[in-house]
């Protein structure tokens, strides 16, 4: 029971960025598919940014909650995939690669936008990052502006981290992840067919990677090395741009 306040505290600033990251990831898939000639997502009411149209009970709600309750785990989740029919596309292989790349591309764009928002907040109040997490500002007697800006700054920072992680995780070249579908679209026909045949087992492979990550270090490498490095680069670039614009 002592963990409940900590869980609610984590949810207060992690849930919204994660939800936006997952919903806009799927929206991007549907939007690009529509531009490539496939209106399936639009016809089924999935070409919308309404979160209710994209929520997957396990991936959007249960899985993130389980991650939050497990000490030391990283937060991961997914929305309900938008339907795509390559038969409606003029150049299915190329267009499917574009559709698959749109999701991670959207996450990287959200990471950049969140970093710019954080940089703007820091230019307003440079002491934000020196403050304690949301909720402690009132106890410390800080200004009313900090009480308002600090939670937004923390959510913006978390948005950068989660969007970079989701982009890189989805680029793992295993179907049904976006990286696997991009690779299927780019490979010659025979290797592409062999890789596509893994799709029914792709989720089992991913679960295995997650369960045995302590030994395999695949997910750890993505989160601690690539994601941390890319997140730091995006944040540094955004703060540098903000500093240059204010001079």
Q: Which residues are catalytic?
A: 26
Ramachandran bin of 72, using left for φ above 0, alpha for ψ from -120 to 50, beta for the remaining angles: left
Alpha-carbon span 40 to 47, nearest angstrom = 9
Say if CB 95 and CB 42 are below 8 A apart: no
Alpha-carbon span 68 to 7, nearest angstrom = 7
Burial label, 218 (beta-carbon count in 10 A; 0-12, 13-18, 19+):
middle
Element (H, E) at 188: none
Closest by CA position to 88, among listed 149, 141, 128, 30: 30
Alpha-carbon span 153 to 120, nearest angstrom = 9
Closest by CA position to 119, among listed 88, 172, 160: 160
Closest by CA position to 30, among listed 53, 11, 12: 53
Secondary structure of 194-230 as H, E, C letters: HHHCCHHHHHHHHHHHHHCHHHHCHHHHHHHHHHHHH
Please count the other Cβ atoms lying within 10 Å of the Cβ belonging to residue 80: 17
């Amino acid at each position: 029971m002592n963990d409940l306040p900590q869980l609610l505290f984590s949810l207060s600033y992690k849930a919204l960025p994660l939800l936006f990251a997952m919903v806009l990831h799927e929206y991007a898939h549907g939007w690009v598919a529509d531009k490539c000639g496939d209106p399936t997502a639009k016809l089924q009411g999935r070409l919308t940014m309404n979160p209710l149209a994209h929520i997957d009970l396990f991936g959007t709600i249960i899985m993130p909650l389980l991650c939050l309750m497990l000490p030391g785990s990283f937060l991961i989740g997914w929305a309900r995939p938008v339907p795509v029919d390559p038969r409606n596309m003029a150049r299915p292989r190329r267009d499917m690669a574009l559709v698959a790349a749109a999701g991670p591309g959207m996450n990287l764009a959200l990471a950049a936008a969140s970093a710019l928002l954080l940089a703007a907040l820091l230019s307003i109040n440079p002491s934000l990052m020196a403050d304690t997490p949301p909720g402690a500002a009132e106890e410390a007697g800080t200004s009313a502006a900090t009480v308002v800006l600090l939670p937004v700054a923390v959510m913006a920072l978390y948005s950068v981290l989660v969007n970079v992680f989701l982009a890189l995780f989805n680029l793992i070249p295993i179907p049904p992840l976006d990286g696997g579908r991009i690779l299927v679209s780019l490979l010659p026909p025979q290797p592409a067919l062999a890789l596509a045949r893994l799709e029914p087992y792709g989720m089992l492979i991913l679960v295995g990677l997650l369960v045995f990550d302590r030994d395999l270090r695949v997910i750890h490498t993505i989160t601690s090395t690539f994601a941390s490095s890319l997140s730091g680069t995006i944040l540094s670039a955004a703060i540098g741009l903000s500093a240059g614009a204010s001079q």
